[in-house]
Amino acid sequence: MVSRRDAVSTPPAAGGAGPAVVGVDACRSGWVAVTLRGGAFAGAETAGGLSDLLARVGDVAVVAVDMPLGMLKSRRRRAEELAAERLGAHRSRVFPVPPREVWEQPDYDAANACCRRLTGAGLSRQSWGLAAKLREANACRDGGDHRLHEVHPEVSFAAMRDDVPVAWSKKGWNGQAVRRRLLEGQGIVLPDDLGPAGRVPSDDVLDAAAAAWSAHRIALGTAVSLPAPPEVSDTGLPIAIWY
């Protein structure tokens, strides 16, 4: 059963004025994006490469992506520590992001050894599984696309619930029902037919929509960053999770 907390909100007027923004999540086939205009759903796209997806969505104000953006040279980032604190009992939904050198290694064994040397702790295989897409997203931002902002969908969904994380897993029926209801409460109504994007697993679409919600807040200047102010990466760009 969905509680009132999961439904109560003040949604934007459908089709109202406001910037066009995009939320992006990685998926098995590449990337999935949800576009909002005036805070309301305006479309969904998929692409194998992030640069192709960015070209397809056009000139939007903000692109929020569920992927770590920006590394530090010799330590982990504060963003994940603060996000984990906000998720409390569900802190395992956030993984610590090791320094850039770890992600530059050729394989898991080398990355794990590098992570232990730099941080004193190893790297999970699940985290290493993000390496290719993490490099891809950072290459886009480091290459000059500063529309890109990092988000974490679970932090965004918690913010929609007055800072109470969703207890149900996003992989199951209950968790997806709650998250879809939260998005609807914010004026983001996902249609039953998303076209080709509908082939993407539902949890990835919901994550992209939550990222788009955060992107809209970034564009309006109402978003919050973890940490505040952001840290600065070894390439001089901000490191923060926005919601």
User: pLDDT digits over 9-36, tens only?
Assistant: 334 444 456 799 999 999 999 999 999 9
- Give the tens place of pLDDT for each residue, 144-175: 999 999 999 999 999 999 999 999 999 999 99
Q: Is the pLDDT of residue 2 over 60?
A: no
Question: Average pLDDT, stretch 100-126?
Answer: 96
pTM flag (> 0.75): yes
Instruction: Mention every residue, 6+ apart, whose C-beta is less than 8 A from residue 1.
Output: none
- Give the tens place of pLDDT for each residue, 196-222: 999 999 999 999 999 999 999 999 999
Q: What is the CATH number assigned to the segment(s) 4-71+135-242?
A: 3.30.420
Provide the token pair at 6: 């999961």
Q: Is the pLDDT of residue 8 over 60?
A: no
